[in-house]
Structure 1
Amino acid sequence: MLHLGDYNYLEILRELEHGVYLGSDDGDVLLPRKYVPEGSRPGDMVSVFVYRDSEDRLIATTLEPKAKVDQFACLQVRDVNNYGAFLDWGLEKDLFVPYKNQHDALHPGQWTLVYVYLDENSDRLVGSTKLAPYLSYEPITFQEGDEVQLLIGPEKALGFQVIVNNSYLGMLYRNEVFRPLEPGEYTQGYVKKVREDNKLDVSLQKQGYDEVEQAAQTILQKLKEENGWLPLTDKSAPDLIYQTLGMSKKTFKKAIGGLYKKGTVQLLPEGIQLVSS
Structure 2
Amino acid sequence: MGNEGERDSAGVQSVDRALSVLKLLARHGELGVSEIAAELGVHRSTAFRLVATLENHDLVHQNDERGRYRLGIGVVRLAGATTARLDVVREGRPVGARLAAEVGETVNIAILDRDEALYLDQMAGTSALQAHNWTGRRIALHATSNGKVLLAYAPTGRFEEVTAGRLTRFTERTVTDAARLREELDAVLDRGYATAVDELEVGLTAVAAPVFGADGTVVASLSASGPTFRLTAERLSAVAAQVVAAAAEVSSRLGWYGRARFGQ
**TM-score (norm: length of structure 2):** 0.24
Q: Which has the higher strand share?
A: 1
Higher relative CO (Cα under 8 Å, sequence separation at least 6) belongs to 2
Look at both structures and tell me which one has the larger radius of gyration over its CA atoms: 1
**TM-score (norm: length of structure 1):** 0.23
